[in-house]
Amino acid sequence: MSKTRIAFIGAGNMAASLIGGMRAQGVEATQIRACDPGAETRARISAEHGIETFADSAQAIDGADVVLIAVKPQVMKAVCESLRPHLQPGQLLVSVAAGINCASMTRWLGEHPIVRCMPNTPALVRQGVSGLYATAQVTAEQRQQAEELLSAVGVALWLDEEQQLDAVTAVSGSGPAYFFLLIEAMTAAGVKLGLPAETAARLTLQTALGAAHMAINSDVDAAELRRRVTSPNGTTEAAIKSFQADGFEALVEKALSAAAHRSAELAEQLGN
């Protein structure tokens, strides 16, 4: 990112996380511009990160190598159409909008290299993970630029097919909520077993963090880690057997299929 100039269209939560991550990695404030209709939003992001902000998107994207669109999916069509006359040839468009595919963006923006990303909310604490898909027009250097941008808030993984973004949405896009649900359920169960609510919550949260750290730093997969902590006839085995007798894996598969299906359905609606 040494000299890349980036213009953000939309300066809300996701843009603020990305800008914060980039600044923390040493990207200069002068390399970043942001456009947002909200005067307060502009003042906040400018004060926090020292970047120049604009109400007019044409001014913001002038001379930018990368135009990163971080607006709500519902306004993507209007935003893309308003950018179209001002885009310069070869400018890379990066979109983080859920459910808006490259074909729709190309229809609204004209032919430009596009990288479509699906980040997730832990990006707000720089622990996100994103799936990235690039159209054929994206150069190797632009892939690198997009990857560095998204890596500023976590891990960035390339996909070969755009359709795989529906699966990414199901696994990691919506994924934080599944873990929150498990945290809620384990905390409630701990309370039923006699623990004070705060103790049950802290035990659950630290266990989630510890398990994630172990799994990330281990050279064996999660199944093997689970086997290693499950002694025959022990307490863990009693719980795992109970989960599996109630069809835990099938339940998870069904839930993720529902999310992927809904992602494809929303793309269909929003892309028109």
Q: What is the binding site for ligand NAP (CB under 6 A)?
A: 9-15, 35-38, 41, 57, 70-73, 75, 79, 96-98, 119-121, 123-124
Nearest approach, Cβ of residue 144 and ligand NAP (Å): 22
Q: Name the phi and psi angles at 96, rounded to 5.
A: -110, 5
Angle of CA points 148, 143, 177, to nearest 5°: 60
* C-alpha–C-alpha distance, residues 196 and 233, integer Å: 28
CB 248, CB 182: distance < 8 Å? no
Of residues 55 and 197, the one with the C-beta less far from ligand NAP: 55
* C-alpha–C-alpha distance, residues 56 and 34, integer Å: 10
* C-alpha–C-alpha distance, residues 24 and 19, integer Å: 8
Of residues 79 and 200, the one with the C-beta less far from ligand NAP: 79
- CA-atom Rg of the chain in angstroms: 21
Query: Which residue in the block uniquely carries the two structure tokens 């939560």?
Result: 13
Of residues 100 and 200, the one with the C-beta less far from ligand NAP: 100
Of residues 41 and 230, the one with the C-beta less far from ligand NAP: 41
Nearest approach, Cβ of residue 83 and ligand NAP (Å): 9
Nearest approach, Cβ of residue 238 and ligand NAP (Å): 37
Nearest approach, Cβ of residue 240 and ligand NAP (Å): 32
